[in-house]
A and B are shown apart, each in its own frame.
Chain A
Amino acid sequence: MDTAPAAKASDQAITPPKRRALLFLVLPPALWLVCFLVIPYLSLFFQSFLSTNDIGDVVLEPTLDPWKSFFTKDLYRDTLLYTFKIAAMVTALAVLCSVPLAYFIAFKVRRYKELLYSLIIVPLWVSYIVRAYAWKIILGREGILNSALQWAKITDAPVEAFLYSEWAIILGLVHIYTPFVLMPVYTAFEQIPRPLVEASKDLGAGRLTTFFRIVLPLSLPGLIAGGTFAFVLTLGDFLAPVLLGGTNNLMISNVVQNLFGTSNDRPLGSVVGIVLLVVVVLLLESTSRAERAFASLETGRGRFGGAR
């Protein structure tokens, strides 16, 4: 029986010395995570039902007001919908960028495969802030793009519209998050058994047919995993909208940031935070049904482990 050794191992796991060893191993990390992670998340939830006094301090008076304001004010619903829109566009564009590059490296490259593979890994190690900043100096009013256009005599005054626009946020985020999509898409392409592709061609399917009916469906889990990365990362992003979008294109995470900062309404900020958390959890649950790899211990993927 295949299961016998496993059952035996777990029987052994409850002998007293093993139990002591287990406690020694598991207690410190478990206690740390409960104190510094689980209880903080719970306290965020409780805080969303509390009131604030005149100076904005949270007081222990239960109320549903923060939840009521969230569900009755247009600002929150509109910002959430706007954030979904941006996240959907970033996801679509990042997937669109990833497919040809990943496909080319997986199927067409032979000699420099290792090198090209490294090239798509490196950006994952390059600082977020540096990459957001790059777009600021390219797109800015006195940026490189504007001065290049004037140098080439295409325009004679700087174009204001490049930076601080919705497109600047999208461009920046697609640039920052495409490597997170590239990795799972590339892995998915690599794992497609080559005989299947050859069989499709042998049976007379054209290249496009083979791509759309064999390669793409088989790589769907990778595309879903990558797309989920891009979507979730965009939902949580609050720096790019400020750096590249200016003051008129704020996203849901900026609302959280402002409520915990300048507006100092922590209960309402907690409501928005909890809503964001619930949205992300529901999203991850539904996509992981289609694609088990996301956030599994085996691969250690996520915001950071992401595709590394």
Chain B
Amino acid sequence: MRRFDLPTFLVGSAAAAVLAFIYLPMVVVVVYSFNPESVNVFPMRGFSLRWYQQLFENDELLAALRISVLIALGGTAIGLLLGVPGAIALARHDFPGKRVLERVVLLPLTLPGIVTGVAMLSFFPLIGVPVSLLAVLIGHGTFLIAITLTQVYARLKRLDPSLEEASADLGAPPLTTFRRVVLPNIKTAIIGSALLSFTLSLDEIPVTFFLIAGDNTLPIQIWAMMRRGISPEVNAISTLVFAGSIALILLGTALGGRDKESLH
């Protein structure tokens, strides 16, 4: 043990207080999801799984979960199909309009989601995409392209292009070079961005809010339940969402193996 040191102690206390500030509210949600009563009283009197049971009988919520998962899968697929080629083009080729594309692709990440949401709401119906799950899917796909593209681009920038040149010099056609040289090297970035995309889509609100009609995604449904009133049912679904996110991080770390860059 080091000797007691007041400045270090003070900084440490402040650090601990901030960590508590970040975690305590989430801990409260998890703890009160086991609340036997319907009001969140302190101290909690007992332990119950009734809210979890109610959750699994809540058809609206289950439908919302199903929709969220479908949108997240579809959006992630769009992000991968368009983002990976885009990243390769930006990292390995020069072409007119490259600077513009670099900036445009980042817009949905840097501009407030509400602006992107109302812009899409204003234009999509004009091209025959009224507010619907299809509109939500296109909206999610659009910002997930940016997620995949930035992650894969960053990886490609660190990958020596001479590997690809060597493969081409040895007579490999471009697709073979991609499959046998590039792909193995960017695999973890692709897996990482897919998991990141999936999680972000599951949690997305601002764009979804303006494009949805009728069927809700999970966060929009939780929001609707919250506005109707406080219920420990929301604590329970929140806890499950929390657990799901942690599971995805662990999965990402495990799949990424030693290559931590893929997730961070």
Contact = CB atoms under 8 A, between A and B. Distances in A.
A140 interface: yes
A38 B242 contact: no
Interface stretch (B46-54, B55-63, B111-119): B111-119
A129 B105 CA distance: 26
A98 B14 CA distance: 10
A39 B123 contact: yes
Interface in B48-97: 78, 81-83, 85-86, 88-90, 93-95, 97
B82 A32 contact: yes
A266 B122 contact: yes
A297 B223 contact: no
B32 interface: yes
A222 interface: no
Interface stretch (A61-69, A71-79, A190-198, A236-244): A236-244
Contacts of A97: 18, 21
Contact of A25 (B12, B89, B116, B206): B89
Interface in A80-104: 97-98, 100-101, 103-104
A29 B12 contact: no
B11 A304 contact: no
Given A125-B248, A127-B219, A127-B245, A134 B28 contact: yes
A37 B142 contact: yes
Given A128-B219, A130-B242, A41 B107 contact: yes
Contact of B25 (A37, A135, A273, A301): A135
Contact of A300 (B40, B143, B154): B154
Interface in A98-153: 98, 100-101, 103-105, 108, 119-123, 125-131, 133-138, 140, 142-145, 147-148, 151
A133 B85 contact: no
Contact of A138 (B25, B94, B116): B25
A116 B109 CA distance: 27
Contacts of B88: 25
A284 B112 CA distance: 12
Given A29-B105, A100-B15, A121-B264, A136 B28 contact: no
A105 B14 CA distance: 12
A26 B85 contact: yes
Interface in A250-290: 253, 256-257, 260, 266, 269-270, 273, 276-277, 280-281, 284
Nearest to A145: B42
Nearest to A20: B174
A1 interface: no
B114 A133 contact: no
A43 B119 contact: yes
Contacts of B136: none
A9 B165 CA distance: 10
Contacts of B141: 32, 36
A22 B95 contact: yes
A298 interface: yes
Main secondary structure of the interface of A (DSSP, over half): helix
A17 B241 CA distance: 48
A235 B126 CA distance: 28
B197 to A, nearest CB: 9
Interface residues of A, number: 96
B21 A175 contact: yes
B26 A126 contact: yes
Contact of B230 (A44, A140, A207, A303): A140
B110 A284 contact: yes
A148 B39 CA distance: 13
Contacts of B107: 37, 41
A232 interface: yes
Given A26-B89, A305-B147, A130 B110 contact: no
A297 B11 contact: no
A103 to B, nearest CB: 6
A43 B122 contact: yes
A243 B113 CA distance: 18
Interface string B105-140: 111111111111011111110110000000000110
| Leading 5 A-B pairs by shortest Cβ distance | A236-B112, A300-B150, A302-B109, A134-B25, A104-B15
18 contacts: A22-B93, A25-B86, A26-B86, A28-B82, A36-B138, A37-B142, A43-B122, A127-B219, A127-B242, A130-B238, A134-B238, A142-B230, A151-B42, A178-B22, A277-B115, A299-B154, A305-B146, A306-B109
